[in-house]
Structure 1
Amino acid sequence: MTRFPAALSASILCSIAVAMLWGGNIGALYPLLEVSLRGKSVQQWIADDIAEGEAKQRVITAELEDADASLTPIRREQLQAEFKSLQHAIDTKMRLRPYAELLPNDPFQTVALFVALLLATTALKNLFIVGNLVSTSWVVQRTTLDLQNQYTQRVLGLDLASYDRFGTSQLVTHFTESIEHVSRGLQVLLGASVREPLKILSCAIGASLISWRLMLFTLIVTPPTALLISALNRRVRRSLKAHVSDSVHLNRLIFQSVISLPTVQAYGMEREMEKEVDLAGVDRMRRSVKISLWIALTKPVTELAGILAIGATLVIGAYLVLNQQTHLFGIQLTEQPLTIPSMLVFFAMMVGMSDPARKLTDIYSNLQIGIAAADRVAEVLNEPSRLTVPNQPAADETVIDQPPIAPVVRTPGNIEYRAVSFRYCEDQPVLDEIELTIRAGETVCIVGENGCGKSTLGKLLLRFYDPNHGSVFIDGVDIKTLDAKQVRRSISMVSQSPAIIEDTVAANIRFGSPNATDDQVIAAAKMARAEEFILNLDQTYESEVGFDGNRLSGGQKQRIALARAFLRDPSILILDEATNQIDQHSEQLIYDALRDFISDRTCIFVSHRPEAFKLCDRIIVMKNGRVVSSGDAETLRETCTTFQKLFHGQPDNSPEIASDNLSDRAAA
């Protein structure tokens, strides 16, 4: 918000102007009532008040100078205070007299003038209210936009461990719901929460000018009311935090239902999923009702306190005016007996304080909602990265003129895993002291049972995670000393389920290489054997692929993903089960494309497909997070029991494991 000082200053200045005009309009009732009730002009009213005050001073002076009068110290002190108060009132009216001469001499014309001024200042007040709302809205919307951008940047920069901890539904819920609550809270914070207290302060100042003692006496109910509302707000805030969790759970179920819709319908689980969503919705509804209860309780508390203060003002004021007293129960409340007009204005000031005080209930309720939402958003924004780089500035430090990461020049692509151990959870080790070297330009295939850590090797290489122990080296450099983005610029990856964005074919191929030319995109598509189906689409490369590529087949999506990987011209290519879910024709096209592409770069297959073995120089066998063997398929079939179990039952020539296509390079 401090980035927009002009708009923020305009918002605050408009709030101050509204508050001053709010109290000023009420204060203007005093001369209006005096003129209308007494039938005098303002000039005559001021002159009579000055004369009356001076007459009272003469009486007091005579009583103080009367030698025969037996004045007690208390009585003498009261007379001196009253004389001083009268002198202050006379001095004030003397200062106002020159300005009063500018007003009409006729009482009716004076009333008409004050009414016109009241209408004009009310219109001006409303103009300032509009200015306050517009400037506040501008600041809030710009701040919200910055928060959304910062949140998006932080989410996209999360390491996968943090992403796994939060989950998709929670991250999306905070963006769509929590940030919206933060925005509303900011709107209240910069708008009504500034404007309404200033209106209360304006009326409090006006009331204190009439009698500050009487004002404090009638506001005796304020402290206990504030304590009660504070207790209710604490309950609201606790409930709101739980409500956000309920929303996350509900959204998680909805996402799961939509994403898994074909499976849900195929297995007839519609009713069961409906029940789960309904139960989550009921829990969220109950929490919302509970929050509404706590918020609703603050309204009658505030209203009752306001009515109590106004009622006390009316009763006490009536007693003081009707009996022309300055004390109540021996406590001095006014320096002089109050007149009916002054008491009516004092009462109006108290009413003017009660209306903003009542609005503050809703204001603080919305603030509590915004604060609770901000706490949840802050959890993501303050999530520390586990992928630290030595000597890199902290996340909260501002880096001025930091140069962008330069594109990585093609490197040899030599890979080393040195004593690498890793676990996703403390009680679930995945890799155990892995020692593995993949030479530059070598093509390897990693095989093993599910859960043995095959895919994890690729994730560590991409620096989605850092090892718990040990290090991963690329061309002799520990990747923990490099920025993760820099590491990934030299690597392309094609997974089993490639991410396809809702855009054109060309945009999906260019994804990750935004500066690629159309010719380069077409060349990558041809190399990936994708052009054969692209040219048959209605708009060829400009054809929309739909959400998650739902207008394409599995094989077509994989070939687009392969073209995307080729376009980056990486030093290292990772294919993680890239052909497991596609037809044989598409698989053969992909392997043909790979055969031409991997000749001068390091390639890692994670696959059990026989066709992949033909392209590999070496097969690496893993079991229980360790490398247990390495070599060509024919040798492993004879010497490695793990490999034998994995491919038991396949005909000896099923993979057509021709030894001339395999290298004897065996050492891991």
Structure 2
Amino acid sequence: MSTLKKFIKYYKPYKNLFFIDMFCALIVSAIDLAFPQILNFLTKGVFTGSSSEIMKSLWIVGAGLLVMYLLRYAGQYFITSWGHIMGSRMESDMRQDLFDHYQTLDFSYYDRNNTGEMMSKLISDLFDISELAHHGPENIFISSIKIIGSFILLTMINSQMTLILLAVTVAMFIFCLRKNIKMKSVFMDNRKKIALVNSSVQDTLSGIRVVKSFANEEIEHNKFKLCNLKFLASKNSSYLIMGSFHAGTSIFQGLLYAAVLISGGYFIAKGSLKPTDLAIYALYIGIFLNPIEVLINFTEAFQKGMSGFKRFLEIIETEPEITDRENGKQLINPCGKISYNNVSFHYDDTSEVLDNVSITIDAGKTVAFVGPSGGGKTTLCSLLPRFYEVTDGEITIDGIDIRDITLKSLRKSIGIVQQDVYMFSGSIRENIAYGNPDAGKDEIIEAAKNANIHDFIMSLDNGYDTYVGERGTRLSGGQKQRIAIARVFLKNPPILILDEATSALDNESERHIQESLERLSKNRTTIVIAHRLSTIRNADEIIVISENGIQERGTHKTLLTKNGLYAKYYNMQFEGLD
């Protein structure tokens, strides 16, 4: 019931459409129920008169039936067209809600879940929602009217036959209920298996260059084949259950007709039923059976739709771990003084990554983090924009705990340039403008010039309107890096994080990008993570971090004089070059 209540709330924006749809369903049901009664009236009244009276009446009957079925046409048209449109709009609303909710979830959620499965919940799982949203209330409403109405009219014709009919119907209902329970689990399994198929496709296509470079198409073929066969097995199970379900219900429908014919013949023989009444009774059996068949078929759609909706709710009801505190402050024009005060952190079910770390970075200064992989350098930087939450201690900007600052204003104040640059599908202009969607053409060009990428862009046939390809595949690593830097120039944040921004580049690209980064870092509080130690010689402070925490800190010259861990790394990279 809780799930149904959550589903029903999506009808609220379309309640007018819904009530008109139900009104049309009422008209269609009433007309269908009226026809046997009209036939009964004509056979027992009008058609017993003279031929001239019958001929006169036929014009009136014909005109009345024409009006009835024109009304039925209009009602059926609205149900089929606008009823489906209502369902599609509800599906669209759910998909938008799910997408928006995905964006509120933390990095930790994405660490635990596969992108392909998330896309499956966003797209595939909601396909059947539209049919359920439209046909659900309509089928139940029309079927209820027809079943109750025809049952009353059948009882008026012969109550004893109707009791026999009721007994067979109850047996069919119990059969359907038991099969319905099995179908529920099978359709949920279908959803999970198709999510695995989507996950496998997404994984392979995203890494297609790696697949081809290692000539591992056969491995990917086998991985996909395994997922695909699991989905096929799940589908086969669902079809076997559906087969027994539909075959079983058809047997009960045959039993209903057999019960009517045998019991009808019995009552005619006893003189308690007229042959004409049996004919009318048979017509109502068709009206009685049709909505039952509709409900039986609807059971399948209901299970498919609700299994998709339940998987939708699994995401919607996942609360983000990192949220704005009540009365959170806006971070407006910060000076940029950053303090890590006794900060500790660990990921889910892992040992401490950071343990009681304290660092202060004065406004406008550049601090570099160096050291072996796994020491927590990137984690320290990820904690500042609250991509993850500190386990203990606090991080402050200008003396304000970042947990007391709204997430949007905090992240607007921090620019990040990473080693692995993400380019969105679209043009170079759109990718640079991502740093400030309201920026004008001149501002975008100025940002590109500051990033040393303007001349390259202008050498392209379409200039700033050049399509970059999926994930920027038509650009080199250095070109993507400079576009990412231009993006941050346009954002113009007071705090900057450079996460190994030049580590994977050739010397020429590194030179251009280093110039851009120095220009970008000017008058900003800057945190640099670097493996190429040549890029951080001019940092105001260098902090050496290992698995055991902070090992050394000082300027480049001071640390070389100490001849410690930093000097060891430096000499490994530059021995004999200086």
State the distance in 2 between where 1:584 and 1:247 align: 46
Partner of 1:595 in structure 2? 518
Q: 1:193 to 1:578 in 2, by over 3 A?
A: farther
Q: Using the aligned pairs only, state the percent identity.
A: 26
What is the aligned counterpart of 1:519 among 422, 438, 442? 442
Q: Is the 8 A contact 2:158 2:273 kept in 1?
A: no
Q: Helix, strand or coil: the match of 1:288?
A: helix
The amino acid across from 1:40 in the alignment is T
Partner of 1:223 in structure 2? 170
Q: Helix, strand or coil: the match of 2:497?
A: strand
State the distance in 1 between where 2:253 and 2:152 align: 18
Once the two structures are superposed, residues 449-488 of structure 1 have per-residue CA deviations (whole angstroms, 9 ceiling, x without a partner) of 1122111112111111111222221111111122221210
Q: Is the 8 A contact 2:414 2:496 kept in 1?
A: yes
Q: 1:638: Cα distance to partner?
A: 4.8
The amino acid across from 1:378 in the alignment is L
Q: Is the 8 A contact 1:595 1:615 kept in 2?
A: no
TM-score (norm 1): 0.81
Q: Is the 8 A contact 1:299 1:358 kept in 2?
A: no
Partner of 1:322 in structure 2? 269
Residues 491-530 of structure 1: pairs in structure 2 closer than 5 A: 491-530=414-453
Partner of 2:6 in structure 1? none
TM-score (norm 2): 0.93
Q: 1:307: Cα distance to partner?
A: 2.0
Partner of 1:459 in structure 2? 382
Q: 1:117 to 1:280 in 2, by over 3 A?
A: same
Partner of 1:349 in structure 2? 284
Q: 1:126 to 1:144 in 2, by over 3 A?
A: same
Partner of 1:575 in structure 2? 498
Residues 543-622 of structure 1: pairs in structure 2 closer than 5 A: 543-622=466-545
Q: Is the 8 A contact 1:447 1:621 kept in 2?
A: yes
Residues 231-380 of structure 1: pairs in structure 2 closer than 5 A: 231-324=178-271, 337-380=272-315
Q: 1:139: Cα distance to partner?
A: 1.3
Residues 169-184 of structure 1: pairs in structure 2 closer than 5 A: 169-184=116-131
State the distance in 2 between where 1:385 and 1:35 align: 72
Q: 1:108 to 1:312 in 2, by over 3 A?
A: farther
Total equivalences in the alignment = 568
The amino acid across from 1:430 in the alignment is V
Q: Helix, strand or coil: the match of 2:356?
A: strand
Once the two structures are superposed, residues 147-190 of structure 1 have per-residue CA deviations (whole angstroms, 9 ceiling, x without a partner) of 12111111112111122223211111111201112223223214
Q: Is the 8 A contact 1:250 1:281 kept in 2?
A: yes
What is the aligned counterpart of 1:482 among 405, 408, 427? 405
Q: 1:295 to 1:116 in 2, by over 3 A?
A: farther
RMSD of aligned C-alpha atoms?
A: 2.3
Q: Is the 8 A contact 2:363 2:524 kept in 1?
A: yes
State the distance in 1 between where 2:458 and 2:410 align: 35
Q: 1:184 to 1:166 in 2, by over 3 A?
A: farther
State the distance in 2 between where 1:643 and 1:292 align: 66
Q: 1:164 to 1:223 in 2, by over 3 A?
A: farther
State the distance in 2 between where 1:179 and 1:593 align: 46
Q: Helix, strand or coil: the match of 2:419?
A: coil
Q: 1:115 to 1:533 in 2, by over 3 A?
A: same
State the distance in 1 between where 2:93 and 2:504 align: 41
Q: 1:514 to 1:227 in 2, by over 3 A?
A: same
Once the two structures are superposed, residues 380-400 of structure 1 have per-residue CA deviations (whole angstroms, 9 ceiling, x without a partner) of 11110101333279xxxxxxx
What is the aligned counterpart of 1:19 among 10, 16, 29? 29
What is the aligned counterpart of 1:189 among 136, 150, 155? 136
State the distance in 1 between where 2:172 and 2:113 align: 40
Q: 1:447 to 1:210 in 2, by over 3 A?
A: same
Q: Does 1:437 align with 2:360?
A: yes
Q: Does 1:626 align with 2:549?
A: yes
Partner of 1:40 in structure 2? 48
Q: Is the 8 A contact 2:87 2:129 kept in 1?
A: no
Q: Is the 8 A contact 1:572 1:603 kept in 2?
A: yes
The amino acid across from 1:354 in the alignment is L
Q: Does 1:426 align with 2:434?
A: no
What is the aligned counterpart of 1:3 among 5, 13, 20? 13
State the distance in 2 between where 1:575 and 1:213 align: 85
Q: Which moved more, 1:642-651 or 1:298-307?
A: 642-651
State the distance in 2 between where 1:294 and 1:235 align: 8
Q: 1:175 to 1:489 in 2, by over 3 A?
A: same
Q: 1:544 to 1:224 in 2, by over 3 A?
A: same
Q: 1:385 to 1:625 in 2, by over 3 A?
A: farther
Q: Is the 8 A contact 1:473 1:479 kept in 2?
A: yes
Q: Helix, strand or coil: the match of 1:186?
A: helix
The amino acid across from 1:23 in the alignment is L
The amino acid across from 2:108 in the alignment is A
The amino acid across from 2:43 in the alignment is L
The amino acid across from 1:13 in the alignment is F
State the distance in 2 between where 1:134 and 1:428 align: 58
Partner of 1:663 in structure 2? none
The amino acid across from 1:251 in the alignment is N
Q: 1:303 to 1:182 in 2, by over 3 A?
A: same
State the distance in 1 between where 2:132 and 2:559 align: 65
Q: Is the 8 A contact 2:84 2:130 kept in 1?
A: no
Q: 1:653: Cα distance to partner?
A: 6.6
Q: 1:8: Cα distance to partner?
A: 0.8
Q: Is the 8 A contact 1:7 1:138 kept in 2?
A: no
State the distance in 1 between where 2:540 and 2:131 align: 61
Q: Is the 8 A contact 2:371 2:545 kept in 1?
A: yes
Higher fraction of helix: 2
Partner of 1:150 in structure 2? 97
Higher Rg: 1
Q: 1:583 to 1:197 in 2, by over 3 A?
A: farther
What is the aligned counterpart of 1:166 among 98, 113, 134? 113
Once the two structures are superposed, residues 361-380 of structure 1 have per-residue CA deviations (whole angstroms, 9 ceiling, x without a partner) of 22110110110011111111
Q: Helix, strand or coil: the match of 2:572?
A: coil
Q: Is the 8 A contact 2:341 2:394 kept in 1?
A: yes
Q: 1:541 to 1:265 in 2, by over 3 A?
A: same
Q: 1:120: Cα distance to partner?
A: 4.4
Q: Is the 8 A contact 2:533 2:570 kept in 1?
A: no
Q: 1:210: Cα distance to partner?
A: 2.5
Q: 1:191 to 1:640 in 2, by over 3 A?
A: farther
Q: Helix, strand or coil: the match of 1:279?
A: helix
Q: Which moved more, 1:522-531 or 1:609-618?
A: 609-618
Q: Is the 8 A contact 1:495 1:577 kept in 2?
A: yes
Q: 1:641 to 1:247 in 2, by over 3 A?
A: farther
Q: Is the 8 A contact 2:84 2:131 kept in 1?
A: no
Q: Is the 8 A contact 1:136 1:190 kept in 2?
A: no
What is the aligned counterpart of 2:321 among 381, 386, 397? 386
State the distance in 2 between where 1:177 and 1:638 align: 62
Q: 1:645: Cα distance to partner?
A: 4.9
Q: 1:574: Cα distance to partner?
A: 0.7
Q: 1:303 to 1:149 in 2, by over 3 A?
A: same
The amino acid across from 1:470 in the alignment is G
Q: Is the 8 A contact 1:422 1:469 kept in 2?
A: yes
State the distance in 2 between where 1:209 and 1:115 align: 27
Q: Does 1:135 align with 2:82?
A: yes
Q: 1:21 to 1:267 in 2, by over 3 A?
A: same
